[in-house]
Amino acid sequence: MSLALYCRECALNFESLPEKEKHNEEVHYGFAQPYPEISEKEFELMSSWNTHKLVHHCPVCFRHFRVINHLIEHLATSHPIRCLNNPLAQTSKEVVENYWKLLDHVLPGERANSMRLWKADTVSKKCPYCPTYNPALRLTYNHIRCYHHRRGNNIPLPAYEKYLRWKDHVENLYPGQLKKVSNSMKFNASNILFLQMDEEFIYGHGILDQPQEEDFDAIFLESFPF
């Protein structure tokens, strides 16, 4: 078995290159597969890997992930399941389902926990005011300061309460991280958008009552296609 004759999107091995090329044209519309993250030699040894090693590798590109929820995020965003309305999504449903079965067998309960962590991490990177999503918490915080917390902006109280819930969520998920991000910002002439502090918003809106606890997923996950 070689990488050149193996369709990683479908987990199929072919006897010749023309057979694989025909499969690629008929099933994948000629789209090239993502470059594999392992060498030919490592690929040949995969059959001897133990299940704990296998479960930490992406089933499509074979990239290694130390943390399972990072692998789940990668699988969902980089290798979406094949569907008619998205020609760029080429991964077979069976490939993903087989990985879930392996994960559930090797690490029972890890799938649900990792999905929850991934969703929570995704929420921390989504702006609480608008649909903007950033790949890093720092960028999301910068976005909030740039586009929503500019001096003179009039933020409705219900929207600001969403920001406070987002802030509490991030603090619970990553204690102290927001403070580090804030402290790392440079206050200079080209970055005047970060001069407005949270206290000014609180005083500007009057005394804010502590927002009531609501269902976290219902508030924040509605914008994500899980």
State pLDDT tens for residues 119-144: 777 788 888 888 888 878 888 888 88
| Residues in Cβ contact with 198 at an 8 Å cutoff, skipping those fewer than 6 apart | none
| Percent of residues, the chain, with pLDDT higher than 90 | 10
Domain boundaries, the chain: 129-184
CA–CA separation, 184 and 197 (whole Å) = 15
pTM of structure:
0.56
Buried b (16+ CB within 10 A) or exposed e, 58-80: bbbbbbebeebbebbbbbbeebe
Other Cβ atoms closer than 10 A to 161 = 18
Mean pLDDT by 10 residues, the chain (226 residues): 85 90 87 80 88 91 88 83 76 90 86 74 84 83 83 74 87 83 60 41 38 40 38
pLDDT in tens, 191-225: 444 434 443 443 344 333 333 434 433 433 443 33
Burial environment of residue 132 by CB neighbours within 10 A (0 to 12, 13 to 18, 19 or more): middle
Give the pLDDT of residue 78: 83
